[in-house]
Amino acid sequence: MIQTKTFYFNDLRECCYVLWDETKECVIIDPGCYSESEKDRLKKFIESNELVPVKLLNTHGHFDHIMGNAFVAETWNVKTFIHPLDKPHLERTSYYSDMFGYKIDEPPLDTIDIEEGETIGFGHSSLKVLHTPGHTRGGVCFYCEEDGNRFAVVGDSLFAGSIGRTDLPGGDYDDLMNSLLGKLCKLGDDYRILPGHGPETTIGHELATNPFLGK
């Protein structure tokens, strides 16, 4: 059974998730760790739980979600999995760093493409990929279909009580609504939602209360 740990990293309080199972293999999703102390917190957690990172997954390429890509890739020698439509964000990291005044280590560009419907394995477990454009063109959600442990890591597509911005480059409101109502929410009410910022929620709760998903 997959277990999850949430870290809140950098000024934007970006949610980084570590997922592992009984084999101790783990994946690290959206490592936004920026300061040395944040990187240290992630490293200490991995080490003290004797986890073995095998993959780095990005829900999308925005700089607050990839600040620690270089650190994770170098520390644990893992490849980065990202949708090809968001790879340009990785390639332009230094531009974004300068614009926002951050000093971000260049993320590795030898990434592995992920697409809708793919399965990403670690240990005895697997996650499936939904392509959910709208916040960015290559945004994806990673979801787990285990009985009694269903959840989706959704990046900045859906938040508790809100939805992702669509006014940034590559954003599109209609695409996002199609992704949310046509794909993500169809997974089922019982799915826990692990968003890119803020507290976790469920699909059922959001469909009932989120004003942006109102019928």
Instruction: List interacting residues with Zn ion (CB under 5 A).
Output: 62, 64, 156, 196
Nearest approach, Cβ of residue 157 and Zn ion (Å): 9
Q: Between 25 and 38, whose beta carbon lies closer to Zn ion?
A: 38
Comparing CB distances to Zn ion, the nearer of 123 and 134 is 134
3-state secondary structure of 148: coil
Report the run of H or E that residue 179 belongs to, with start and end.
Answer: helix 173-182
CA atoms within 13 A on the CB side of 55: 22
Q: How far is the CB of 48 from Zn ion (least distance, A)?
A: 27
Sheet with 201-202, edge to edge strand ranges: 119-122, 125-131, 140-144, 151-155, 192-195, 201-202
Whole-number minimum distance, CB 170 to Zn ion, in Å? 10
CA distances from 35 to 7, 14, 78, 103 (A): 13, 13, 20, 10
Q: How far is the CB of 77 from Zn ion (least distance, A)?
A: 26
Using the minimum distance from each CB to Zn ion, give the nearer residue, 156 or 175. Answer: 156
CB 10 within 8 A of CB 34: yes
Which is closer to Zn ion, CB of 1 or CB of 168? 168
